[in-house]
Amino acid sequence: MSYKDALIRANTYLAADPKTRFIGYGLLKGRALGTLVNVPEHQIIEMPVAENLMMDMAIGMALVGCKPVVFLERMDFLMNCMDALVNHLDKISTISNGEFMPKVIIRCIVGNKNKPLYTGLTHIQDFTEGLQAMVTMPVVQLKTVADINYSYERADKALYSTVLVEYKDLI
């Protein structure tokens, strides 16, 4: 099974839960690099290019019982939603003494370095180590098909949020 096939299978698995919503921009057109091909359109929420808004919306949806999956086409763009991610999503359970425990799955892609359409330095950075130092939630690098299979299932079953770091060079 290819890396992309594993991502398709993992997201199809998440979509089997009717509470799951996929949030991002360009999802209806590009289907998250083709990884949401089996996800029904009514589970996709197309957003403007506003990463902080996407993360805040996901937090709100999680607080009312939805299972949001935020897709960020580049890990670099995660920097635009760091306040919502680091200061809200990651800390709300502690701040509220466990009263609120929103769970969001965040998919972010480290851009391609090896393919013909090299997108430049501002689209290929991997902030995994820095992010791991800032949050208590898991930040998981998906470098193999086995990583995808295990980590998506674990993120789905967890009671907390998870950041899944994917690699476009492997898709």
Q: Using the predicted structure, report yes or no on whether residue 116 has a pLDDT greater than 70.
A: no
Q: How many domains does the chain have?
A: 1
For 82-106, write each residue's pLDDT tens digit.
999 999 999 999 999 999 999 999 9
Q: How confident is the model at residue 112 (pLDDT cuts 50, 70, 90)?
A: confident
Alpha-carbon gap, residue 140 to 81, rounded angstroms: 18
- Give this prediction's pTM: 0.94
Domain, as residue range, for 86: 3-170
For residue 97, the domain's CATH number is 3.40.50.970
Percentage of the chain beyond pLDDT 90 is 85
Predicted pLDDT of residue 90? 97
Chain length of the chain: 171
Range scoring the smallest mean pLDDT among 4-8, 73-77, 151-155: 73-77
Q: Using the predicted structure, report yes or no on whether residue 168 has a pLDDT greater than 80.
A: yes
Q: How confident is the model at residue 115 (pLDDT cuts 50, 70, 90)?
A: low
- What is the DSSP secondary-structure string of 41-89? GGGEEE--S-HHHHHHHHHHHHHTT-EEEEEES-GGGGGGGHIIIIIII
